[in-house]
Amino acid sequence: MEKALFSKRITCLDCKGGHIAKKQRNKRIYICGRNHNYKTCRRNKVFQDYLIELLSMRYNDIVSPEDLSSKVEYIEANEEKIVIYVIDNGKPIISMNDFAQF
Ligand SMILES: [Zn+2]
């Protein structure tokens, strides 16, 4: 099982609550904590592998997932959109269905 690399750094874009780390078929995922605990929000699932993929497009000289995750200040996410704020003050990394910024 992949270690949870983004715990406490993912916020739900819908409810502004924190995402929690879970696993799904041996994949590390993060879902909205309010969905998990109360079902008062959407699941807003994020795959850790996809976050690593997005980060490796920006930091293409870094290979290790741990080192890539260390570039992240925090992340906002829901089903439609992921925004990764990075620690080096670069523009955020954005992934949407019809738009991406790496
Ligand atoms: Zn939520």
Is 3 part of a structural domain of the chain?
A: no
16 located within any domain: yes
**For residue 4, is it within any domain?**
no
Q: Is the pLDDT of residue 1 over 90?
A: no
Residue 59 lies in a domain: yes
Q: Please give the average per-residue pLDDT across 28-38, as a whole number.
A: 97
Tell whether 75 is covered by a domain: yes
What is the per-residue burial (b if ≥16 Cβ within 10 Å, else e) of 11-40? Answer: bbbbbebebbbeeeeeebbbbbbbbeeeee
| Domain span including residue 61 | 10-101
**Average model confidence (pLDDT) across the chain:** 95
pLDDT confidence of residue 9: 98
Cα of 40 from ligand 1 centre, angstroms: 8
Strand 72-77 versus strand 10-12 pairing type? parallel
Q: What is the pLDDT of residue 84?
A: 98
62 CA → ligand 1 middle, Å: 31
Q: How far is the centre of ligand 1, averaged over its atoms, from the C-alpha of 43 (Å)?
A: 7
The reply to whether 63 falls in a domain is: yes
**Chain segment 54-72, per-residue pLDDT in tens:** 999 999 999 999 999 999 9
CA distance 55 to 40: 30
Determine the Cα–Cα distance for residues 74 and 82; give it in Å rounded to an integer. Answer: 11
Q: How far does the centroid of ligand 1 lie from the alpha carbon of residue 16, in Å?
A: 6
Domain total in the chain? 1
> Which pLDDT score is estimated for 41?
98
Domain assignment of residue 1, yes or no: no
* Residue 2 within any structural domain of the chain: no
